[in-house]
Every structure is written in C-alpha cells, then in structure tokens.
A and B are shown apart, each in its own frame.
Chain A
Amino acid sequence: GNSVTQMEGPVTLSEEAFLTINCTYTATGYPSLFWYVQYPGEGLQLLLKATKADDKGSNKGFEATYRKETTSFHLEKGSVQVSDSAVYFCALFSGGYQKVTFGTGTKLQVIP
C-alpha cells in the first residue's frame, strides 16, 4: 500500500536559518503530493502541492519538488521566521483523491 515517511521532529531552528523537512513516499501509479501546515490550535491548511514528476510547488517562501526518481518531496525554505513555527504534514493523493495518506507530521520551532 501507499506510505509516507517524514523526518521526525521536533526541528528547532534560529530565525533566518535554512529549513529542510524530508519526505519520501511509496506509491503505485502517479500520485499527487502535498504539504500541509497546522498552526497551534488550528486545522490543517494546504501549503503547496505538485501533481506530477519534476513539478515544483511553492507558497509563502516554501518550496518542494516532486522527485520521482528518489520518491521524495522535501520541503525547503531559505529563511524561516518565528511565525513559521507549526507542524508540517506531507501527504500523498492517489486514485483521484479517493486515497489519501499522511505522514506523521514534523513539528518546527523557530526561535528568535
């Protein structure tokens, strides 16, 4: 079956540091890949997505590239801010959104 593996957190960074959160997946077919963010006390919000190999999703300074050869979709940001502190979930969608698999989430804490 499908699976998503995320790096374990928490990840603690200083403001303006470079962020990478690793995500790898196992899936049949041609899934779409998503990153969601959950700020404290809130629901999950779509951060970015990529629907086919070599696509790059980007939003709010975050980006991730769909790498089929390494089955990865790592999340990166060049300079994190305190306001980026949240839990980040990698997710895989296949079968026309009828099958959804989430990673376990990675908590990011950014300190001033």
Chain B
Amino acid sequence: DSGVTQTPKHLITATGQRVTLRCSPRSGDLSVYWYQQSLDQGLQFLIQYYNGEERAKGNILERFSAQQFPDLHSELNLSSLELGDSALYFCASSGVESYTFGSGTRLTVV
C-alpha cells in the first residue's frame, strides 16, 4: 500500500457520460498530481494541485476538470466521454522527500 488511495479501481461507462475519479493523498502530502496513461501514449501529465490551489496544468482537455478539497483529497471529473478517453488514470502525491503514485483507475468507455 503506497498510501495514495484511488477509487474506483475500474470504471466502465458509455460515450457521452460523465465520471468522477477520486484520490486521497498520503498523509501530510499537500500536492496532488493527475496523469493519464494510454496504451500508446505513455504517461501524460494532466494537472497539479497544491493545498487546494491549481499549481500547474498539462495536457488536460477542456472536458476534464479537477479540484482539491480542504481535506486535500482530489477529484478528477471527465465529461462528454469519448472512446479515446479509455485509459489508466493515476494520481500521485508529493511531500518533502517523496513522490508516490496510487494504483490507478482503469476507465473503459464503450
């Protein structure tokens, strides 16, 4: 157990739908990062939050949004889903001496 908790582990949904992925960071970590990993595109950085505020943005689509709550957990919202959004979605959290990944959510859009 890495200490970073992601739910759900698996999600199957239809095109056009909206889903929410959840991430709880390691205790004490203030930063949360979201990544998308597709079969043929490696690890793509989406967005970073630090203590509730957006810190950095990567290749995140406008249909996607995220937020970090006062208790530091984060949610990634994916809307108007397309077949190409099928991927593994990872979050990571960082502290002074660590950068730790969760086990991911596998999203399948059918």
Interface residues of A (CB under 8 A from B): 34, 36, 42-46, 89, 91, 93, 96-100, 102, 104-105
| Closest chain A residue, CB of each to CB of B94 | A97
A to B CB contacts below 8 Å, 18 in the list: A43-B2, A43-B90, A43-B101, A43-B104, A44-B92, A46-B98, A89-B43, A98-B31, A98-B50, A98-B56, A100-B45, A100-B99, A102-B42, A102-B45, A104-B42, A104-B43, A105-B42, A105-B43
Which residues on B sit within 8 Å (CB–CB) of A89?
Answer: 43
Rounded to whole angstroms, the CA-CA distance of A98 and B98 in the bound complex is 11
A46 touches B99 (CB 8 A): yes
Contact among A42, A96, A98 for B103, CB-based, below 8 A: A42
Main secondary structure of the interface of A (DSSP, over half): strand
* Residues of chain A lying within 8 A (CB to CB) of residue B101: 36, 43-45
Q: Which residue of A lies closest to B91 (CB)?
A: A43
CB distance from A1 to the nearest CB of B (A): 11
A21 to chain B, nearest CB (A): 15
Chain B 4-46 near chain A by CB (<8 Å), digits 1 or 0: 0000000000000000000000000001010000000011010
B55 at the interface (CB under 8 A from A): yes
Contact A97 B31 (CB under 8 A): yes
B43 touches A46 (CB 8 A): no
* Seed contacts A43-B101, A97-B96; 5 additional CB < 8 Å A-B pairs: A43-B104, A45-B101, A46-B100, A98-B48, A100-B94
